[in-house]
Structure 1
């Protein structure tokens, strides 16, 4: 049975940069909004007559914390009716129907393999939820690689938070890369995400599961690369944006 539609109320909005906002949504009729890290919710926005025109789905960026409030991180899409509404019409107190949680892009019951979380932009949302959940509950795990790509340092979503997590969570490696940052900055990785996981896999060939989240082009390339390195397609899990 699908989850019913419930009223969601925006309680907080934070600007990351000109193109990215964080939104906090409360589900007042529930004392606790239960979900698994990696799942998403669907919003029914007032932007069209037919459901297919109104519904927009977003991964939950927060972890289950015993409250009825969830966080979403959303990028403004040029010409996108949904994000135009969210960025220009929504204010504190705005209410929209919310359905969820939904999705099977979730952690395995036992983390008995290395995990490669590969993402770009707001595709980091489900992985931020997973990392915080693993840390909070002290879950046993193998190596976890969060490989995050964006254009510039200013686009690095949750960067300081993930860097801090890598200092306290054992075997967790935060590996960001920037495709359009100044090449003279030698303190960061330059380029795209693909070279990072390829280097690790070539050096170690670990027993691993791969979680890919972001735009289709990145996911398609990563999937082909991983398959070409001898991994089974059952080890690859996808959450496609757009």
Structure 2
């Protein structure tokens, strides 16, 4: 059953990178906004007469904590009507019409295989939610690899936080990789996400689930490569951006 439209109030905004902002939204009409990590909400923005041209969906970046506040992380898209409105018009105290939670991009109830959480850009949002949920609820799991690709180190969302979670979640490895970072920065991994999971899999081909979240090009290429590694379509779960 589809959730009703509700009014959310923006209670905090923080600039995370030059083109990315974090938005905390409170939904006053519910005491606790319940969702499964990996789900999204849809915003109805006043940018068009037709409903379906006003709707923009964003993964919830926070994990369920019993409150009625959720966090979204949104990247500005040049020429995008939705993010132009959000970045120029939405302030702390603004009201936003939203519906959710929705979506089935969620972890299995029993995590009985290794997880490869592969993303680009703001595609990291659902994984941040999943990881904090694993930590908070001490959910049993196998190895978890978060493989996060972005162009430059300065665009890396939640870097310190996701790195420090390695101290709290057994078997979790954080593997950011940067496609355009300067050669002289030798302290970080360079390249694209594909070489990272291929290298891990080539060593022992674990039983695994692959989660893909981000831009279409990355997802299409990852699907091909994962199938070529001998995995099945059923092992791949995806959430497309844009």
TM-score with structure 2 setting the length = 0.99
CA RMSD of aligned residues (A): 0.6
What's the secondary structure of 1:123's corresponding residue? helix
Q: What do residues 100-138 of structure 1 show as CA deviations (whole Å, max 9, x unaligned)?
A: 000000010000000000001000000000000001111
- Cα distance in 1 for residues equivalent to 2:166 and 2:187: 17
Note if 1:93 corresponds to 2:93.
yes
Residue number in structure 2 paired with 1:36 = 36
Q: CA deviation at 1:17?
A: 2.1
What's the secondary structure of 2:127's corresponding residue? helix
- Cα distance in 2 for residues equivalent to 1:79 and 1:124: 23
Q: CA deviation at 1:168?
A: 2.2
Runs of 4+ off more than 4 Å: none
Residue number in structure 2 paired with 1:220 = 220
What's the secondary structure of 1:213's corresponding residue? strand
- The runs of 5 or more residues in structure 2 that have no matched partner are none
- Cα distance in 1 for residues equivalent to 2:18 and 2:115: 32
Residue number in structure 2 paired with 1:182 = 182
Residue number in structure 1 paired with 2:229 = 229
Q: CA deviation at 1:238?
A: 0.4
What's the secondary structure of 1:37's corresponding residue? coil
Residue range with higher mean Cα deviation, 160-169 or 112-121? 160-169
Q: What do residues 140-165 of structure 1 show as CA deviations (whole Å, max 9, x unaligned)?
A: 00000000001111111011001100
What's the secondary structure of 1:125's corresponding residue? helix
Residue number in structure 2 paired with 1:128 = 128
Q: CA deviation at 1:63?
A: 0.1
What's the secondary structure of 1:92's corresponding residue? coil
Note if 1:9 corresponds to 2:6.
no
Q: CA deviation at 1:169?
A: 1.0
- Cα distance in 2 for residues equivalent to 1:212 and 1:28: 32
- Cα distance in 1 for residues equivalent to 2:165 and 2:2: 34
Residue number in structure 2 paired with 1:202 = 202
Q: What do residues 157-185 of structure 1 show as CA deviations (whole Å, max 9, x unaligned)?
A: 01100110012210000000011111121
Q: CA deviation at 1:239?
A: 0.3
- Cα distance in 2 for residues equivalent to 1:241 and 1:185: 29
Residue number in structure 1 paired with 2:83 = 83
